[in-house]
Amino acid sequence: MISYHLEDSLLTEVFTNEGSGTLIVPDKGAVSRAGLEELHT
């Protein structure tokens, strides 16, 4: 899901590693430990 409240949120989602939307994965274990830490910073 991508917010329409942020200017250029779609471009941010598509063209950056961090993105701006919600990360949806089938299993929380599928995301590496480093990936989870990056998401919380």
| pLDDT on residue 27 | 78
Q: Angle at the Cα of 8 (from 1 to 22), degrees rounded to 5?
A: 20
Write b or e for each residue in 13-35: b if 16 or more Cβ atoms lie within 10 A of its Cβ, otherwise e: beeeeeebeeeeeeeeeeeeeee
List the chain domain ranges.
9-39
For the entire predicted model, the pTM comes to 0.48
What's the pLDDT score for residue 3? 79
Judge residue 2's burial from the number of C-beta atoms within 10 Å of its C-beta, 0-12 exposed, 13-18 middle, 19 or more buried: middle
Tokens 């480093």 belong to which residue? 34
Terminal C-alpha separation, the chain: 19
Model pLDDT for residues 2-41, shown as the tens digit of each residue: 878 888 888 888 888 777 777 777 777 777 666 656 655 5
pLDDT reported for residue 38: 62
Provide the pLDDT for residue 14.
84
